Amino acid sequence: MPDGRIRLTVLGGYLGSGKTTWLRHHLRGLADPPHILVNEAAEVPIDDLLLSAACIRVLAGGCACCTGKAQFASVLRSICDQHPRPASILLETSGLADPAALVAVIRDDPVLVHHILVTEIVVLVDALNALAQLATDPLGRAQITSADRLVLTKLDAVPALDLAGLRLTLRTLNPSAPITGAASGVVVPLPPLPEGARAVPLPALTGLDARPVAAVRLSLPADLDWAAFSLWLSALLQARGDDLVRVKGVVNSPAGRLLLQSVRRVVQSPEVLPAGHAHERDGTLVLIGRGAEEASLRRSLDRFLAP
């Protein structure tokens, strides 16, 4: 914890994608388990019976990204007040949650923004039912696009060719997130994609943009003007936040190297990385979104950076 903020991992995924099962097995292997928060949209909690961790809190009766927002924020605040403070929290979302909205709850809270940092959004994908969900439900697609890491569950129930089709389909929705498989909470390697596997075309949903999601890398100058750059990014997200699903990068600023992340319009308060561990990815901004084009992004950034 270099900046003292509690690390929050968001575990998301559609209803029945195996979140609790994954969590239960995952916790067994950890020497230093995180503080667990389980959110259930239903009034009557059940999932906590399956989990037997020492520090577990259940938020029942409302999804933390919408109706249960206030309760979610107050529970996080009470965790911040604990002594000793947990180093990390793992939040199991309800199957109806949009992880981007959860990040927004933390960003908009004047206390939490200083004490909690969302480090990773892990989204579980039910290999058996995901394609059917993605075909009809915009929420399922929103969960996939906001993920940092995708974990496929129920692998044994699916033929190899279907699985390959699903993986390629997930790639079109989220080209940057690594995909792994899980069986009983343990990471299992996925087989190489077989010949002839194709992404399954997803039908256009009303109100959703059908353009493919692309990832664009922009290299930033070494002497980046942070004021101009941050104004550009804020204008860009304000205008195109619905299209630009993710922006990630390590950026040089007056405070040092900043790990900058956004999920749709929400930019998290950036994490200051330790100096001296310069990496080759420094000064590269990755923008993932529908219809993202390198030439136009580059041109608009240069216009803001022009002296």
Q: How far is CA 6 from the centre of its chain?
A: 17
Site of tokens 């908009």: 108
Q: How far is the CB of 228 from another protein (least distance, A)?
A: 5
Which residue, 176 or 234, is less far from another protein as judged by CB?
A: 234
One residue of 17, 93, 143, 268 binding another protein per CB under 8 A: 268
**Shortest reach from residue 134's CB to another protein, in Å:** 28
Q: Classify residue 128 as exposed, middle or buried by CB count within 10 Å of its CB (0-12, 13-18, 19+).
A: buried
d(CA 63, CA 300): 38
Instruction: Kindly write out the interface string for residues 70-109 of this chain, putting x where it contacts another protein by CB under 8 A and - elsewhere.
Output: -------------------------------------xx-
DSSP label at residue 46: -
How far apart are CB 64 and another protein at their closest, in Å? Answer: 20
Q: Which of 148, 230, 249, 273 forms a contact with another protein (CB under 8 A)?
A: 230
Query: Which of 163, 267, 273, 288 is close enough to bind another protein by CB under 8 A?
Result: 267
CB 148, min distance to another protein, A: 18
Cβ distance to another protein smaller for residue 152 or 216: 216
Ranges within 140-169 binding another protein (CB under 8 A): none
Q: State yes or no: residue 119 binds another protein (CB under 8 A).
A: no
DSSP letter for each residue of 225-289 = -HHHHHHHHHHHHHHHTTTEEEEEEEEEETTEEEEEEEETTEEPPPEEPPTT---TTTTEEEEEE
Options 64-72, 127-135, 191-199, 256-264: segment touching another protein (CB under 8 A)? 256-264
Sign of the torsion angle spanned by Cα atoms 170, 174, 179, 181: negative
For residues 203 and 307, which CB has a smaller minimum distance to another protein in the complex?
Answer: 307
Query: Least CB distance from residue 98 to another protein, whole Å?
Result: 19
Which listed residue (28, 120, 200, 226) binds another protein by CB under 8 A?
A: 226
Amino acid (1-letter code) at residue 194: P
Sites of contact with another protein (CB under 8 A): 107-108, 110, 113-114, 226-228, 230-232, 234-236, 238-240, 253-256, 258, 260, 265, 267-270, 272, 296-297, 300, 303-304, 306
